[in-house]
Chains A and B, each alone.
Chain A
Amino acid sequence: MIKKQKKYVLPENLQNKIDENLKKYPSDHRQSAILYALRLTQNDNGGWIREQHMRAVADYLKIDYIAVYEVATFYSMLKLKPVGKSLVSVCDNISCKLKGADNLLSFIEEYLQIKTGETTSDGLITLERAECLGACVNAPSMIVNDEYQENLTKDKVQQILDNLSNGDNH
């Protein structure tokens, strides 16, 4: 007999936050809260979104699942595949590239022994390449767990990575 998986419902604390967010929009435009709801759900579920989460968000906002799916697949900060405990997004777009982002990215790959786009074998760190982060005058820059890290040097990066590997993700 196949045991039916229990349906995921948004926990109450998320529901409350989404309710609060919905106040920003006209009451007949609940869909405007979708990015907020998806990011919240993502953060609450190990940094990535499964189908059941999209279904729960759809139910809660009273919109079609496909509308949520369309959105979830469009935005780069919404992750549909597993990510490590920490997410490191390194910008190598033009201003950062001119300031040595390519070398920095290679250094990180070597240091973590993974390729860009991969997660370390201990599941602690996912490395990704980012588009311009809007911190170009402090290049090279990256975002680690939602926090900007700017004017990067190898030493600075190494220290940040060491902290992450030690389980300190702030």
Chain B
Amino acid sequence: MLKPELNRRLTQVGPGTPGGDLLRRYWWPIAPSVDVGPEPLERRLLGEDLVLFRTREGDVGLLERQCPHRSTSLGLGYVDQPRTPEAAGSPSGLRCGYHGWLFGTDGRCLEQPGESADSTFKDRIRAQSYRVQELGGLVFAYLGPEPAPLLPRYDLFVWDDVWRDIGHAELPCNFLQIMENSVDPHHVEWLHGRYDAFLRELSGAPASEVLTKKHLKVAFDVFEHGILKRRVLEGQTEDDEDWKVGHPLVFPSMLRIGGGGLNFFQIRVPIDDENTWHVWYQTYQPGGSVPPQETVPAYEVPLYDSRGKLLRDYVDGQDITAWVTQGRITPREREHLGSSDVGVIALRRLFAEQIDRVAAGEDPLCTYRDETTNQVITLPQEKEKFGGGDAFRREFLLHGQTRYSPILHDVLALFGDHDLVGRRAVEPV
């Protein structure tokens, strides 16, 4: 049970709110690199409306969405070369589709076709622009105060000899209840174990052996990257990697899991208080070298079946259904926490603490300002997950959201899971 004021404090993401001030101290993924081109994308991040585009020279720009002229969305725009003799030879920018004002990636207004050639009006106009960087097939944005911290080079973003793909979906709920799921190991055996077994029984399929194992013990340690989770499952001891190594919730917004050469992040990007862009960032590492990937493919994860019901016949659909049905911002004043919810409480406490740190003028957890510690940030994570890495990978590739990946069958072949290639991953709904 949480008092309503505290629930608001922990869930608000907009500018000028304590939570929003904390979240603005981090770099956020804003789109897969492959999706960013000359036609601008309208994006919303931390309650701010933005447009994202790539110039002809390959630079990515991120501007406020409303044109400084008369507020039409710059989403009604296009990447274009400057046309005045004065600007000839300058790099391309984003031209508003309404009256043709042209903006550079730095927000400077380069042209106003309706004004006379000798006008200096444009020099007084600037669209708000934000910092962007590309890493590992994602475009990251920073909306916070200067000096900006470094974009953390977490291992999965920078590893060589892996394939990658990126699934994503917009979920109609606040980011914090999604993060709470990442410190709630018990749900695995119930939601993905028993509930899933119930559904499979209805369709005549056998239950998963990987996900129904009982939890004997769980622990949560706050550490330099966030919260390290450990568990002992039935049949295991504290010498198993699930306990000895565990896996992290990376503060403030990522979960890192994996096993058997499939390692991934789930990244929860606050769109606004009531919506979250969820990114599933996979790396596939069979060992040894793999043929290079030209680009990192991206795909959308569907939420609903043909009758408008939230899909729940696979692991991530079950999670999504749990999160979304908790309500846009789950009413924590009416919850009943038990002793199995201590991880959730630990996470809320960590958020409250970090909000206070930022309010006191300090850098929050997971701020990187030193290049030497940001070459590759290696995160701890068990390899023999749930007592068997290969079984975990085989289960997750077909029964996780990767079932929607355009490269799923190539990935199965990459791992030598030839018996699964061609298997219909998406069950009829």
- A-B interaction: no
Query: B-side interface residues toward A, CB under 8 Å?
Result: none
Query: A-side interface residues toward B, CB under 8 Å?
Result: none
